[in-house]
Amino acid sequence: MAPRLVVRLIFPLLLVTQALLFPGPTAAQGTTPDTRFGAVEAMWDPVAAAEAGVGWERILFYWSELQPSGSQDWNGYHVPGHWLDMAAQEGREVIGLIKHTPAWATDGSAGCGVPRGLDLPVDHPDNLWAVFVRRVVSAYAGRVDRWIIWNEPDIAVGTYGFEWCGSLESYYRLLKVAYLAANEVNPRVKIHLAGLTTSHDPHYLQRFLAHARQDPTGPEHGYYFDVVTLHIYFRTDWVVHVLNHTRATLQAQGFHKPIWVNETNASPDSDPEWPLVRPRWRVSLEEQAGFLLQGFALALSTGAERVAVYKLKDTGLGPGGEPFGLLRPDGSRRPAFDAYRLITRHYAGTVSARTQRHSLYQVVVLNRGDRTTRVLWARTRSDVSVTVPALAPEAQLIDQTGAQQLLAAQDGVYTLTLPGARCADEAFGCIIGGPTYLLVEEGSGTVPPVATELPTATESPAVTPTVVLTETVTATLDPPTPTPAPTLLPTETPTPQPVTLTPTGTPTPTPSPTATPTPTPSETPSPTHTPVPPTATPTSAPALALAPAFTSRTAFVALGSVLASLTVFGAWFKYRRKR
């Protein structure tokens, strides 16, 4: 009986030890992620995705891979089931993107060709696209209930990156057939318009909606799509411009649809671990991190329902490829990974958002119910002193690396100096603002506009600074799945004086090459901005509670756990043989 007793006593202990040493990805995050914040293809590193708090991901479903040889094929290994299982386990919603026509299914070019039989009735067996959509939507119903139909049809045939060889009218037919076929097999399905770049054809959506309105069957089916999808890259101000332009286009045509930003990022061209030379878009590693903090905040304040970074990891990226990932191909983390974690932690639970765009700086106010997060950055090369009205006696001031300090209000305000932007792009100058800071306070309420906008003595701006509020936009957002907000712990109050913020990383200096007109990512460093020496010493505080590190002590305990397991099972096996 002794071996059985040993097993009964030690086996549960071993399980507990293993759980403590090797927690699952969800345990590392500790909360249900806010479904508004996504990352493209999070399945390539589900542990990092869970730690980052990714709430949804987009996965490609290639028609040519699922049915490579004919309509009777089905290659289920193209999108393995464990990707979807892992996402569900971590509370991450999967959105499918269908594209890439098989050669056997088109009379045009494989990949971008219009499917054969597209103009036939939806229930006709020779409408190959309808048959495929029914099968894929039915196969994944309940695990994938949102489908994006193709990708970037607004890029003209022959232009770099084009993926649709049909006309605008044939794309509408593709969308319509997909909507009808999908709804036949999954009543919960939502169909998303293909992601539009806007920069390639600013009037594509306008023409598409005008064509859709001519369809007499459109109104009863919501014109065959549920969500508008956008891709926005490289310039912080474009986020607001493209979203406002898209909403105005929808309203002018009488459409009321939610808007998602499915891809946004500014890939760095100065990552020393991933060299890249491109003719345009000077972006440092620190600027990529700042772009995400600025872009996600602006998207919320301009009414985007969801936002995703392209992409979590640079999987399969060859030498010279554009490094958009929060993670490099080897899994190492760029500074943008830390910035994304700040978004999912300190933007989570936002119920309304407001942006205040001044001539020298920008503030986005995120009302999160029981607390408020303000996102601040300089818009020009100049360092700028800003006075911010206080909502509470103190706030956590967090830089874009996650380093924190406690900031005490003085006379009802916080005064801080924002470092200027690098402004290295030859065509557009300040495409991304300066280093980004978060001011997190307990309490909510209407935050009055910032009253002070003064350049510091370190660098004078080209024009005389005036307090000009050029744009104030307020967006009310649907409440997400509740996410516990961080608790601000009291620390020693710093000396009550203006706080000068300094960027944690310094970009590598390099001259910018000649600019090109279109936003096609490629990389190379630019001149550095010299920050002002800090006037307040930050108190050291951890930015995020992460999963336990795998140290040598952990490895020793793990090895002991394995040896104990072997000993116990050996004793049990010997006992069984004696019987």
CATH number (domain holding residue 76) = 3.20.20.80
Identify the three-state secondary structure at position 214: coil
In a domain, 373, yes or no: no
DSSP 479: -
455 in any annotated domain? no
Q: Which two tokens stand for residue 195?
A: 């992601």
Q: Is residue 489 part of a domain?
A: no
Provide the pLDDT for residue 498: 41
d(CA 299, CA 73): 41
Give the model's pLDDT for residue 550: 36
Q: How many domains does the chain have?
A: 1
The neighbouring-strand residues paired with 58 are 95
Closest CA to 375 of 409, 428, 339: 339
Q: Look at residue 74 and tell me if it is in a domain.
A: yes
Unique residue bearing structure tokens 């009055």 = 448
Nearest to 434 by CA among 380, 512, 510, 388: 380
Whether the predicted model's global pTM rises above the 0.85 cut = no
Left if phi > 0, otherwise alpha if psi is -120 to 50, otherwise beta: which for 253?
alpha
In a domain, 464, yes or no: no
254-to-100, 210, 251, 314 alpha-carbon distances in Å: 32, 10, 5, 40
Instruction: Specify the pLDDT at position 30.
Output: 54
Per the CB < 8 A criterion, the answer to whether 351 and 336 are in contact is: no
Q: Is 122 domain-assigned?
A: yes
In a domain, 531, yes or no: no
Within a domain: 470? no
What is the residue range of 54's domain?
2-346
Q: Which residues lie across from 365 on neighbouring strands? A: 354, 374
Burial of 79 (0-12, 13-18, 19+ CB in 10 A): buried
Give 93's strand partners. Answer: 56
How many beta carbons lie within 10 A of that of residue 423, not counting itself? 21
Quick one: DSSP state of residue 303? T
Note down pLDDT in tens along the chain; length 579 residues.
443 333 333 433 433 343 333 344 443 445 789 999 999 999 999 999 999 999 999 999 999 999 999 999 999 999 999 999 999 999 999 999 999 999 999 999 999 999 999 999 999 999 999 999 999 999 999 999 999 999 999 999 999 999 999 999 999 999 999 999 999 999 999 999 999 999 999 999 999 999 999 999 999 999 999 999 999 999 999 999 999 999 999 999 999 999 999 999 999 999 999 989 888 899 999 999 999 999 999 999 999 999 999 999 999 898 889 999 999 999 999 999 999 999 999 999 999 999 999 999 999 999 999 999 999 999 999 999 999 999 999 999 999 999 999 999 999 999 999 999 999 988 889 999 999 999 999 977 565 554 334 343 333 233 222 222 234 455 655 544 333 333 222 223 233 334 444 443 333 333 333 333 334 333 333 333 333 333 333 333 333 332 333 333 334 434 444 454 455 445 544 544 444
Q: Which residues contact 198 (CB under 8 A, 6 or more apart)?
A: 154, 204, 205, 230, 231, 232, 242, 245, 246
Q: What is the pLDDT of residue 447?
A: 56
